[in-house]
Chains A and B, each alone.
Chain A
Amino acid sequence: MSVTKLPAASPRPLTKVNSIFHSTIYSLIETGLNQALSLDPGTRKQMESLSGKCIRIHCQSPRLLLNILVCEQHLSLSANEALQADISIKGNASALMKLLVTRNTANLRQDGIVISGDVGLLGKFQAILQNLDIDWEYQLSKFIGDIPTQFTHDSINAAGRFAKKTRHNLEEDIDNYLHDETRLFPSEAELKDFYKSVDVLRLRVDRLDSRTGKLQSILADAISD
């Protein structure tokens, strides 16, 4: 039995990207998302075909790594680079938010968003993530329990309000934009151009990630054994 050394993707040194602080935020968001999902059988059903798929959101400013993994009817958030993603999106926070909130794939290039992997998954993930209404305060008290709730109550509420407000503002902006700027709707040429560059990018990423792919098949074999 020969031993294959693991490719760099899996046991890469643990980066500063994942920390207990990210975990705290992610757990709040995750609980909120799953809570919202529990009230939405339609979306849950829709998710099932995505089970096992993982989207990685790589925010460059602020630096943040977020994996969203679909586990049957449940979403799992993490910041672990060792988790293999099926599609990966890179960009800055506002562009990523715009993308995830508006389902607008047309401005990717302009916004400096880079997508790799199975691009077809993007729309499906967007559909799931959109318009989930989240009761942050309730989620927090449920998760953190009694002791620190008093401490964090106010600040998280503020954060929640901020997030809501941000989203609200963003939605308003987008609304205005939609009404004022017909230019938002991309021309067919632009779209074609975009898809072409995505394809080129995908090929390049595929090549770069061929070693990662090898690991995936090794893992898959190990699991099915």
Chain B
Amino acid sequence: MNNDSPEKTTHFGYRQVAVEEKADLVGEVFHSVAKKYDLMNDVMSLGTHRIIKRFTVELSALRPGMKVLDLAGGTGDFSLLFSPLVGSQGQVVLADINESMVRVGRDRIIDKGKSGNISYTLANAEQLPFTANTFDCICIAYGLRNVTDKQAALNSMFEMTAPGGRVLILEFSKPVNPLLGKAYDVYSTLWPKAGQLITGDGESYQYLVESIRMHPDQETLKQMMQEAGFENCEYHNVMGGICAIHVGHKAASR
């Protein structure tokens, strides 16, 4: 954020809040929605979020023995999908800034008996606490828009990516067709109400709607990835750009 005023502020949806405060506010949002998150995901994605997630996993090009970081992994959906792909010789790391999300994720994964190759870390995407060049794939799904300094996060992700590896960014984006954009805009104004009904927490979804509208569009995000060092950056529009999956590569070094 290029805000030089002494009191540093950032977006929290449409509200301007102090930078330090944002991490807490984001935390609160996910504390309150962790459990009923899945159902709301169905509502927001018209029931397609599982398929979009799977599609993203297909783009990971992972295979047995590889290491993958499920960044902003929350309740662990992606970790669960990655786990069988990398197998017992591989490694999945679920990292999230929010302790209660990590806990929910871990409980879920243990419940499903899939904990073998998955480990958990409390981490801020802006400053990842891993060794450089570690992961064959880093995936951040519906997480980047919550990060205060997105460029810092992309830089950190680039550093942690192994040469020859890739990064996947799944995020709500800008519908390519203005009519669809309009329709989805109108539809998304229903989320806070749906969120209130389903999770008893409309405010969180008000925040989601706003944060989605504030998020950089496809081309902007692609440029930011290139700036971080990723090569051959591409994106897939899903459902006409309601979501987009960006893929970037770190050159193999020798």
Task: Please report A residues at the B interface, Cβ cutoff 8 Å.
Answer: 1-6, 10-11, 13-14, 18-20, 23-24, 26-27, 51-52, 54, 69, 71-72, 74, 76, 78-80, 82-84, 143-148, 215, 218-219, 222-223, 225
Contact = CB atoms under 8 A, between A and B. Distances in A.
B222 interface: no
A80 B61 contact: yes
A1 B251 CA distance: 12
A85 B132 CA distance: 28
B253 A10 contact: no
Interface string B85-120: 111100000000000000000000000000000000
Contacts of B185: none
A218 B254 contact: yes
Nearest to B233: A11
Nearest to B248: A11
Contacts of A13: 232, 234
A2 B163 CA distance: 12
Contact of A145 (B47, B55, B133, B253): B47
Given A6-B232, A222-B252, A74 B164 contact: no
A72 B249 contact: no
B65 A18 contact: no
B222 to A, nearest CB: 12
B50 A215 contact: no
Contacts of B60: 80
Nearest to A152: B47
Contacts of B50: 143-145
A72 B63 CA distance: 10
A114 to B, nearest CB: 23
Contacts of B231: 6, 11
B252 A83 contact: no
B11 interface: no
A21 B133 CA distance: 33
A79 B51 CA distance: 14
Contacts of A76: 84-85
A19 B236 CA distance: 9
Q: A-B pairs with the 8 shortest C-beta distances? A: A11-B232, A78-B58, A148-B47, A23-B55, A147-B47, A74-B84, A83-B61, A52-B64
Q: Which of A10, A23, A74 has the most CB of B within 10 A?
A: A23
Contacts of B88: 72
B164 A3 contact: no
Contacts of A3: 251, 253-254
B254 A215 contact: no
A169 to B, nearest CB: 30
Contact of A10 (B55, B67, B84, B249): B249
Given A4-B253, A148-B46, 9 more contacts: A3-B253, A6-B231, A18-B59, A20-B239, A26-B58, A27-B54, A52-B64, A69-B85, A222-B162
B54 A4 contact: no
Nearest to A14: B234
Nearest to A10: B249
A38 to B, nearest CB: 12
A76 B57 CA distance: 10
A144 B47 contact: yes
Given A14-B236, A27-B51, A145-B42, A218 B63 contact: no
B48 interface: yes
B250 to A, nearest CB: 9
B63 A83 contact: yes
A22 to B, nearest CB: 8
Contacts of A18: 55, 58-59
A134 to B, nearest CB: 18
